[in-house]
Copies of this chain bind each other. A is one copy, B any other.
């Protein structure tokens, strides 16, 4: 199989994909839409992109593309620990505390916000297109004495020296990546985990939204279907109009799930089943 992933080389997505699809051909794409378009255009068999980080929340562009733009299916979920390290060019090792600026993806900067605020207050924090791109820049500009925040794979790939490990503010930092396919059938991977779940996107009818969300939750609640996530995203039709992403710890087969979805549709909701799949753990190293 050929797998598109959100690059560049040494990104967090690359780390997850290497563990999950060790024997497959991997292809790096610059943006999340590029990964998804490659999948819908049949240039690849799977696309792997981040969906949600434990600290920063959902990745809006992934969620919105899955809702608005493409018709693909989640066939597996990869949960990967995210460890952010501060790294510099080896020639600047002795003066890393005087870095001129610190570069990383805006999500990574946000994940280390308190560390940066208390340790490097006033330093320029420069957003980059990815953590790996920041590492690459630092490796190519030793004269600037810049720092990058990223993962150990990026440090190895670009020959940088890690000067402070695990600088993310909250210990429990994980990202959920989704494996996407044009077909709905779930992937079985040789990784730890494997519990089943389903993801639905639910749009409420426009008439009576607040009461309707209560009814939506009732449809799951009285059936004892356990929701591991409910999140709202703007519909982009105006402030205050949302759709909901709901994760249910249950496969889609079975009379209870079918009953719940039938009930939601009878209430006037639109339900899109994004996938029924297995959830796997990616090791840190």
Taking beta carbons and an 8 Å cutoff, which residues of A are in contact with B? 33, 52-57, 60-61, 79, 106, 110, 113, 117, 125-129, 169-170, 172, 174, 176, 209-211, 213-214, 217-218, 220-221, 226-234, 236-240, 242
Contact = CB atoms under 8 A, between A and B. Distances in A.
20 contacts: A53-B234, A55-B234, A56-B234, A57-B234, A125-B129, A170-B236, A172-B238, A174-B238, A210-B226, A213-B217, A214-B217, A214-B218, A214-B221, A228-B240, A229-B240, A230-B232, A230-B242, A231-B231, A231-B232, A232-B232
A240 B128 CA distance: 28
B233 A57 contact: yes
A126 to B, nearest CB: 8
Contacts of A54: 234, 236, 238-239
**Number of copies of this protein chain within its complex:** 2
Contacts of A57: 60, 233-234
A236 B57 CA distance: 9
B236 A210 contact: no
A164 B262 CA distance: 46
Contacts of A231: 231-232, 242
A127 B231 CA distance: 27
Given A57-B234, A232-B232, A239 B127 contact: no
Nearest to A61: B110
A149 to B, nearest CB: 14
Report the 6 A-B pairs with minimum CB-CB distance, sorted nearest first.
A127-B127, A210-B227, A214-B217, A170-B236, A214-B221, A54-B239
B79 A106 contact: no
